[in-house]
Structure 1
Amino acid sequence: MERLSDEQIEQELDKLPEWKLVDEKWIRRRYKFENYLHGIEFVSGVAAYSEGQQHHPNIAIDYKVVTLKISSWEKRGLTDLDFEMAHHFDELYEQKEK
């Protein structure tokens, strides 16, 4: 995978309005949950998917808020895989919160 241009990143972020660009090389989203255990269940799903992709986000758990931060270390920036994962995590969140 190749590193995305600034224009490509902006186009991808338009499709993911909850995700924010951080330091020009990360995307980040905060997910809010009804309770602590729902957040932990979400993190478990994130971890399983990430392990399968061999591409792991930074994860912070703050009671009922889970923050994910994604970048491609090898490419020193963002790639298509980062955005594919963000889409997957959003879908996982929607399933958990139904």
Structure 2
Amino acid sequence: MGKMEKMRSDAADEAIAALPGWSRQDEKWMQGNYRFGTFVEAIAFVGKVAEIAEAMNHHPFIGIDYKKVTLRLTTWHAGGLTELDMQSAERFNEVYRTSIPGNG
């Protein structure tokens, strides 16, 4: 399957289940939730997410609520979830685990 082909529902569910902090919202969207010790850590994470998104040319919807960051992903051109969404979520989780103080 190519990165931009819509995933089968069961394949998307299986891939999301392997991504800590992520859940499926509906047929088109997945959501990741991240908590931080401070607002500054949350904003630093968002900056790193932006760098990854630019490099991958795949941009999440980002919500910031004090020390909580919510990311939502879909692939518009495919009409739903694709491998690109899963790869993006993996990269965001890696940043959360390794480069934010207190989370690694």
Normalised by the shorter chain, which TM-score bucket?
over 0.9
Percent identical residues:
39
CA RMSD in angstroms, aligned pairs only = 0.9
Distance (Å, rounded) in 2 between the aligned partners of 1:85 and 1:55? 8
- TM-score of the pair, normalised by structure 1: 0.95
Structure 2 gap ranges (5+)? none
Aligned match of 1:8: 11
Q: Deviations over 1:41-95 (max 9, x none)?
A: 0000000110111110000000000000000011110000100010110110011
Q: Which runs of 5+ in 1 are unaligned?
A: none
Superposition map of 1:32-47 within 5 A: 32-47=35-50
Q: Which residue of 2 aligns with 1:64?
A: 67
Q: How many residue pairs align between the two structures? A: 98
- Residue in 2 that maps onto 1:73: 76
Contact 2:21–2:34 (Cα < 8 Å) also in 1: no
CA distance in 2, matches of 1:51, 1:17: 23
Return structure 1 stretches of 4+ with deviation > 4 angstroms: none
